[in-house]
Amino acid sequence: MQKTLTVGLLGLGTVGSGVVKIIRNHQHELQHQIGRPVEVGKVLVRDLQKARDVDLSNDCVTLKAEDVVDNEAIDVVIEVMGGVTEAKDYIVRALKNKKHVVTANKDLMALHGAELLALAAESRCDLFYEASVAGGIPIIRSLTEGLAADRITKMMGIVNGTTNYILTKMAKEGLPYEEVLSQAQALGFAESDPTADVEGLDAARKMAILATLGFSMDVRLDDVVVRGITSVTKADLEYCEQLGYTLKLIGLADRKDERVEVSVQPTLLPNDHPLASVNDEYNAVYVHGEAVGETMFYGPGAGSLPTATAVVSDLVTVLKNMRLHVNGHAGARPLHEKKLKADVEIESKYFFRLRVIDRAGTFSAITSLFAERDVSFEKLLQLPVEGEDVAEVIIITHTTSKETYDFLYNALVKLDVIESVESSYRVEGGK
């Protein structure tokens, strides 16, 4: 009888429980894939008495990390406990003990991925992290394997299900941000402290990982320009609809002439853009390669079984590599030196919503300011505010640089005919 391959888990929450279920319920398929039985040997938990979705024997669960990472019987360590410092320490110990590692920890990989991958290569061990980005969508493997022969020039996507759910409900049901956030929390789509999601930090970590892989550059979290959705209003979404756009929190990684930009921000997309129809908690990543052209990956971005499926897929790859004796060769170092675009090199269209004094000369003052910087209007909407001597002016510009956008925004704030710049957003897609 062939030797059973033994897995140790760090964490038994939503994803960890899903991993155990898949290993148990898909045993026949796993044995077919790797030629050996797979079992869960030890699982690190924080509370031995806690009720869980899966039944494990008392000798399988432990409160001691060393029972997993220092255990000679464990072949592969799966980290699904979350956090950064503790998780990193355990993964380092596991790799130094010549154990292969699978993790779903986007925070850890965004901050320390290069260091951990270097240690894995030194230890001749695999370190895979498909589940760290977009849940059950196999985007990382697609970049490192399926599109490995291509040269990726752009990645753009919805990589946070919480914010996509919130924006979808606000747009389709006309509900205010605070009410939809409360609904998302009640349904489990948002944490009790939603800061990492709604301020764009979760998406930024994922985009740092994707940019590093897609462009083969050492892109760090600090390189990502981040803006969340907390300032998005019902009025913004209504005007977007009138003008034929949908507002999404978009992660963007773009490369041109070996210089890159990486950002996460609320962005207007034309209604016929593939990402505009991605709703609720779903994720999608749109990838452009010089050879393949445009591709899009779509699916559930979170949840127990979708994320666990990505974890177990990485596990299968590790076990196949063990059978072929080729572990430790997947973590290639970045090929290119990182060069970030300057603001003058970042080009886009922009949306402005202005509250202006409704009198003669107001519109002339605004158009003169834009003309001064050679920026023309693609779309324009002007509506009086009932009962007040003010109007709302909505502008979508033609393509200009971020440097010019920053100048215009600051100048508009100071212009005496403008009461306030109510909002402004980037616009992607369209002709």
Q: Which of 130, 121, 111, 134 is nearest to 218 (CA)?
A: 111
Domain 5-135+304-324 has CATH 3.40.50.720: yes
Buried b or exposed e, range 314-346, using 16+ CB within 10 angstroms:
bbbbbbebbeeeebbebbeeeeeebeebeeeeb
Element (DSSP H or E) covering residue 96: helix 85-96
Q: Residue 239 has which token pair? A: 């005007």
Three-state secondary structure readout of 10-47: ECCCHHHHHHHHHHHHCHHHHHHHHCCCEEEEEEECCC
Structure confidence at residue 105 as a pLDDT band (50, 70, 90): very high
Query: Domain 343-427 is classified in which CATH homologous superfamily?
Result: ACT domain (3.30.70.260)
Q: Give the strand order in the sheet containing 38-44.
A: 61-62, 38-44, 5-10, 76-79, 100-103, 127-128
pLDDT over 70 percentage in the chain: 97
Taking a C-beta distance cutoff of 8 angstroms, is the pair 103, 129 a contact? Answer: yes
The reported pLDDT for the residue numbered 420 is 96
The reported pLDDT for the residue numbered 431 is 64
How many other CB atoms are there within 10 angstroms of residue 388's CB atom? 11
Query: Quick check: is 50 catalytic?
Result: no
Distance from C-alpha of 216 to C-alpha of 338, rounded to nearest angstrom: 9
Tens of pLDDT, residues 195-220: 999 999 999 999 999 999 899 998 99
Catalytic residue from among 42, 88, 169, 206: 206
Tens of pLDDT, residues 302-355: 666 778 888 999 999 998 888 888 887 766 677 789 999 999 999 999 999 999
Q: Which of 259, 297, 226 is nearest to 153 (CA)?
A: 259
Indicate the domain borders of the chain.
5-135+304-324, 139-300, 343-427
pLDDT at 143 > cutoff 90 = no
The reported pLDDT for the residue numbered 88 is 97
Distance from C-alpha of 419 to C-alpha of 276, rounded to nearest angstrom: 32
Query: Domain 139-300 is classified in which CATH homologous superfamily?
Result: Dihydrodipicolinate Reductase; domain 2 (3.30.360.10)
CA torsion, points 132, 339, 150, 289, in degrees to nearest 10?
Answer: 80
